[in-house]
A and B are shown apart, each in its own frame.
Chain A
Amino acid sequence: MLYEITSRDVTTKDYLIPYAFTGSSMGEETDISEILERLLFALIRQELFRQPFFYRSLLPSFEIDLSSVHPHFEPITGTSLIEEFYEEILPEETLEYDIIVRMPPRKRYTIELEVKNIKKAEPRIVEPEWI
């Protein structure tokens, strides 16, 4: 029989034990900590569903089976689901649209210009201040 980790085997409170309920009472001590751990996992799952869409979408990255026959909770190896997620979301948001809308001016009229003189332009030099 594989040794199951319980909260007594870890030294930090922040480390969550992937819960694996044995479903059997033979030779196993069904103590209060196991029940609490199961409750804690159920609560975490509920909390995840309240998270924004992005975080919720990462849920499929975990294989969760709480059935009594073969319960397990583990990250799915590989990144295919995450890649699919990005492929679904990103293209529309990163697409550039080269659209041109020709707007008419607010007002249009003709005037008569009097040309006073025509001369060759001279450069207007703005010297940098740090020199």
Chain B
Amino acid sequence: MEKYPWYAIVNGKEPLLQGDFINSCPVVIPPATIESAKVPAEVIEYDVAILSQSCDLEQRKIDLVLVCPVWSLSEFENRSTFFKGKSGKEALRLGNVPGYHLLNKCEINGFERDYLVVDFRSVYSVPFDFILALARKRERGLRLLPPYREHLSQAFARFFMRVGLPVDIPPFR
């Protein structure tokens, strides 16, 4: 198992890659209308994983970085009876719950994490320089390694490309 570790620790100076985790990433929610020079805005903070492609990040081909919230499985279980049960967790593990992706536990010293659930339903775009500055501030951070990183990316693609048919073929009985 050690041959194919899920996570690695990276220092804040390393370039950002897909699968990097950023803790307490603020997201500014603008008001519905902007009618004056000063407007109140809500800020929400999430622990996030970067979903943008590594090559786009490395070559600075994007101005906005796609991120999505990450939760520990226990936090998730506390808010959903479905995921509290064995079948819910197993469905999550098998990739049968679109919108959510399960990541393994992290047992690296000082970076111990429970199983993590990535939430594809709440994706945000954060300015590149902003998230880069945030990453620089932390001395060390957690990074999801290949092929688990690509597996995450594929799960997001599968969620995003879903097509709901208005009239489906009835099941064979």
Contact residue range for chain A? 20 to 34
In the bound assembly, the distance between CA atoms of A94 and B63 in angstroms comes to: 38
Interface code A75-105, partner B: CB below 8 Å = 1, 0 otherwise?
0000000000000000011111111111101
Name A103's closest neighbour in chain B (CB-CB).
Answer: B71
Across the interface, which residues of B come within 8 angstroms of A99, CB to CB? 80, 82-83, 88, 97, 99-100
- Decide: A106 and B63 in contact? CB cutoff 8 A: no
Interface of B is mostly: mixed
Across the interface, which residues of B come within 8 angstroms of A108, CB to CB? 42-45
Q: B residues within 8 Å of A by Cβ?
A: 24, 27-28, 30, 34, 36-47, 61, 63, 69, 71, 75-76, 79-80, 82-83, 87-88, 91, 94, 96-100, 119, 121-122
In the bound assembly, the distance between CA atoms of A37 and B16 in angstroms comes to: 65
- Decide: A110 and B96 in contact? CB cutoff 8 A: no
Q: Which of A95, A107, A113, A118 contacts B91 (CB 8 A)?
A: A95
In the bound assembly, the distance between CA atoms of A36 and B87 in angstroms comes to: 48
Name B45's closest neighbour in chain A (CB-CB).
Answer: A107
The answer to whether the Cβ of A69 comes within 8 Å of any Cβ in the partner chain is no
Give, as a whole number of angstroms, the nearest-CB distance from A130 to chain B: 14
Give, as a whole number of angstroms, the nearest-CB distance from B32 to chain A: 13
